[in-house]
Amino acid sequence: MTLRNASLRRLALLVGDRLRRRGVEAVLTGGACVSIYTRNRYQSYDLDFVLLAAQDKKAAGEALRELGYRPDGRHFRHSDTPFLVEFLAPPLSIGAAPVRKIAEIRAGRRTLRLLSPTDCVKDRLAAFYFWNDRQSLEQAVLVALRHRIDMKDVKAWSESEGMAERFAVFLRQWKEKKNQRAAR
């Protein structure tokens, strides 16, 4: 199977499906979800899957080898594609809060489990809150502009992380961009 020219979305579906068939429960997180939810307005090259059970790491690696990926340090690399795959240790959480609802994307018979748009926004905001990463703030705004987001949930989570002021920064930027779009 050639992975040349495969988009991040297609590759994520392929990997996600292969993992499922191996009985490995994994959820796509991080910048790859932003790429998918923004149709590549932000392009990530990292497919970060959180394993729901730490003991599945070996089976996950075997599933990737079947696709032609090879381990390279903590990552898996494929000669036909620039997209790297990494398996992150459980738990699936955003800050101190566990992720309860997992979204799914289907294409044909393939299914990919990933963060919901609301959790994707929280995940990016966590990077902004904890690392002061402005690029992640922009990504959170991009996702929030394109999807229905549970802002009450994002606000409550932000407050529980002690980040009410930073949430206000996000909210202001999101509203500004939303108004600009509406005025066009």
Partner 1 sequence: MLEGLLESPVKERALLFIHVAGPSYAREIARTFSLNLSSVQNQLLKLEAAGILYSRLRGRVRLFDLNPRYAFKAELERLLEKALEFVPEGESRLYRGRLRPRRTGKPL
Residue closer to partner 1 (CB basis): 17 or 123: 123
Q: How far is the CB of 79 from partner 1 (least distance, A)?
A: 25
Rounded least distance, CB 142 to partner 1, Å: 20
93-94 and 46-51 strand pairing:
unpaired
Residues 166, 147: contact at Cβ < 8 Å? Answer: no
> What whole-number distance in Å separates Cα of residue 36 and Cα of residue 33?
5
Per-residue contact flags (x/-) with partner 1 for residues 123 to 142, judged by CB under 8 A: ---xx--x------------
74 binds partner 1 (CB under 8 A): yes
Size of the site for partner 1 (CB under 8 A): 13
Instruction: Of 84, 14, 23, 76, give the one whose Cα is nearest residue 52.
Output: 23
In the complex, what is the shortest distance from the CB of residue 93 to partner 1, in angstroms, rounded to a whole number? Answer: 4
Site string for partner 1, 82-101 (x = CB under 8 A): ------xx-x-xxxxxx---
- Which lies closer to partner 1 via its Cβ, residue 69 or residue 129? 129
CA distance 82 to 87: 17
Whether the CA torsion 66, 72, 78, 83 is positive or negative: it is positive
For residue 143, state whether it binds partner 1 (rule: CB under 8 A): no
Residue 61 makes contact with partner 1 by CB under 8 A: no
Site for partner 1 in 17-36 (CB under 8 A): none
Tell me how far apart the alpha carbons of residues 22 and 18 are, in angstroms, rounded to a whole number: 6
Question: For residues 137 and 143, is the Cβ–Cβ distance under 8 A?
Answer: no
- Taking the least distance from each CB to partner 1, the nearer of 21 and 57 is 57
Q: Cis (ω within 30 of 0) for the bond into 82? A: no
In angstroms, what is the minimal distance from the CB of 96 to partner 1?
6
Instruction: Supply 31's token pair.
Output: 């910048």
Q: What is the DSSP letter of 113?
A: E
Provide the minimum distance between the beta carbon of 89 and partner 1 in the complex, in angstroms, as a whole number: 5
Give the footprint of partner 1 on this chain (CB under 8 A): 74, 88-89, 91, 93-98, 126-127, 130
